[in-house]
Amino acid sequence: MTALAPETGLSAWRGPDLDWRSEALHTLSNAERQEIAEAVRAVRGRDIPDLTPASFPLPTLGPRLRRLAEDLRVGRGFLLLRGISVDEWEADDLARIYAGLGAHLGRLVPQSWHGELLGHVMDVSDVEAHARGYQAGGSQRFHTDTCDIVSLMCIRAARSGGVSRIASVAALHNRLLEIRPDLLETLYGDYVFRRMELDSQHGSGRLVKTVAIFSRASGQLSCNVSGSYPKRAVQAGDAVMTARQIEALDELERLAASPEFYLDMTIGEGDIQFLNNRTILHGRTGYEDWPDLARRRHLMRLWLEVPSWPPLPANQGMHGSDDHAGWLRQRTPFMELPSRWMAAMTARKAVLA
């Protein structure tokens, strides 16, 4: 293995050292909001895949968003866009605004075997028997997804709590290099991850993958970590984790969850957060929600691929284009629009009542 070296530059930040409001907050100007309004009115009635930079033109904001995508790659790795009013627009308009803005940063990719290009982050664990972490209540541990940029837009806040918590991969890497280089070397090695069965079945058919938590194969340090996938592999008999592999994952999680490293960002209603999924770990704090489904904390989510970025290392990421093709065959028109998604969840809850 190549000698390990510390990461330098803007990406190696620690939460207590940053004021994200001055470092990473862009408030939309009146002119930018007007561009968005004109674009969304022109695409009413259109489906999410139809929203492209051409169909959702943003003459001045669009180029700025593309520059921000490059800033996410080489800079701090996070951004909050503010200035969209949830009171001004219907929820379906907000979804089209969100997808249209996202399309100027990258290409929307599906997020599961359902084929959704825009996901809904809400506690529906009383409706969905096998709800994933983002659709169950409570806190979420630090992890990454499988995309270049992961994004959230808040359309309804929790009763209290539910703060976005992020940590710099570079800063965590550097601390491990200082205190436990043996564990850092282990994280550059092979782990076995087991995917969700339906993601595999409707995608490539590949269920198990060998993954490196840390990699420099793209020319830049990147991270791919999930607490559940390696444990699923062990439980299914696909792999046996060594004591050092377990300790390395635990130590990475411990450091990320330390106030010395993490940064809390409040995503208010109408706010949009963009994260470099390769260089930022993300999770959330616990929260108190409303019992009524129609009032619960509700965020929308995008996974974006950025064509100008170097390809994700082959030994990182749990899904690929072969999965996306199969997943998109499961998608039905307009399925992501909040009005349809909420109607489906409400109907399921009524049946269970």
Q: How confident is the model at residue 40 (pLDDT cuts 50, 70, 90)?
A: very high
| Segment 159-195, tens digit of pLDDT | 999 999 999 999 999 999 999 999 999 999 999 999 9
Neighbouring residues of 335: CB distance < 8 A, sequence distance ≥ 6: 114, 115, 116, 341
Q: Could you give the C-alpha distances from 102 to 151, 157, 207, 320, in angstroms and in order?
A: 8, 21, 30, 20
pLDDT value for 352: 84
Neighbouring residues of 154: CB distance < 8 A, sequence distance ≥ 6: 267, 268, 269, 270, 271, 298, 299
Neighbouring residues of 261: CB distance < 8 A, sequence distance ≥ 6: 14, 15, 167, 168, 171, 172, 175, 255
- In the chain, where the domains are located: 15-352
Task: Please spell the DSSP secondary structure of 118-172, one letter per residue.
Answer: SEEE---TTT-TT--GGGSSS-EEEE--SSSEEEEEEEE--SEE--EEEEEHHHH
User: Does the pLDDT value for residue 353 go beyond 90?
Assistant: no
Q: Is 71:20 a contact under the CB 8 Å cutoff?
A: no
Q: How many CB atoms are closer than 10 A to CB 247?
A: 15
User: Does the pLDDT value for residue 16 go beyond 70?
Assistant: yes
Residue labelled with tokens 């990475």? 252
d(CA 39, CA 34): 9
Task: Please spell the DSSP secondary structure of 318-332, one letter per residue.
Answer: S--HHHHHHHHTT--
User: Does the pLDDT value for residue 129 go beyond 80?
Assistant: no
Secondary structure class of 292 (helix, strand, coil) = coil
Q: Span 316-329, mean pLDDT?
A: 95
Number of H helices, E strands in the chain: 11, 17
| Segment 211-237, tens digit of pLDDT | 999 999 999 999 999 878 999 999 999
d(CA 176, CA 24): 26
d(CA 8, CA 12): 6
Q: Span 41-53, mean pLDDT?
A: 97
User: Does the pLDDT value for residue 2 go beyond 70?
Assistant: no
Burial status of residue 216 (CB atoms within 10 A of its CB: 0-12, 13-18, 19 or more): middle
The angle formed by the CA atoms of residues 208, 214 and 220, to the nearest 5 degrees, is 120
d(CA 149, CA 266): 18
Tokens at 323, concatenated = 């999965």
Sign of CA dihedral 140, 190, 183, 77: negative
Q: Span 100-108, mean pLDDT?
A: 98
d(CA 180, CA 251): 9
d(CA 323, CA 117): 13
d(CA 68, CA 62): 10
Tokens at 128, concatenated = 């969905």
15-352, superfamily in CATH?
Clavaminate synthase-like (3.60.130.10)
User: Does the pLDDT value for residue 1 go beyond 60?
Assistant: no
d(CA 291, CA 248): 39
